[in-house]
Amino acid sequence: MSKNRTEHLHKAKTTKNDEFYTRYADIEKEISHYRDQLEGKWVYSPCDDYRWSNFTKYFKDNFHHYGLKHYTSTCYDIGDGAWRYDYDGENETITQLEENGDFRSPECTAIKDACDIVITNPPFSLWRDFIYWLDDGTFTKNDKGEYKRDK
């Protein structure tokens, strides 16, 4: 890629701007390869606001096609609350999270530990923490409200 094509990514990394949304068509193209692996599974998208996430829209639209057991998404509080969205193929349930919706929180970690598969586009600036979290890494919240990796 030329510098001009990746300049926005470098700027986002510097400014910690994680607002990149995965296109529906890209999700459809990638997820279509995993139909057998998704059947009967609980899918969790821990970085996806149900109100505009294409992951949430895609899994709701294709819930029965993939034979999913359950779909959950959670989102970080950007000023209007942190939310959990659940869909079982018929009913949608939306509840406010007790914490701020950070994927590293105990609340979101408990969902990750209970689900079968995690599918999302994690925050660009936190990808190392995200991979650590997926591999059962734990975090502690410090006095400033920041999550730090447990050693």
Q: Can you give the residue ranges of every domain in the chain? A: 21-149
| Predicted local distance difference test score (pLDDT) of residue 9 | 47
| Mean pLDDT, the chain, integer | 89
Rounded to the nearest 5 degrees, what angle is found at the Cα of 77, between the Cα atoms of 148 and 108?
55
68-107 burial: b if 16+ Cβ within 10 Å, else e = bbbbbbbbbeeeeebbbbbbeeeeeeeeebeebbbbbbeb
Burial class (CB in 10 A: 0-12, 13-18, 19+), 116: middle
Phi then psi dihedrals of residue 143, to 5 deg: -60, -25
Taking only the tens place, the pLDDT of each residue in 52-87 is 999 999 999 999 999 999 999 999 999 999 999 999
Q: What is the pTM of this model?
A: 0.85
Look at residue 15 and tell me whether its pLDDT is greater than 60.
Answer: no
Rounded (10°) angle between helices 54-61 and 24-31: 50
Look at residue 107 and tell me whether its pLDDT is greater than 80.
Answer: yes
| Predicted local distance difference test score (pLDDT) of residue 137 | 86
| Predicted local distance difference test score (pLDDT) of residue 111 | 98
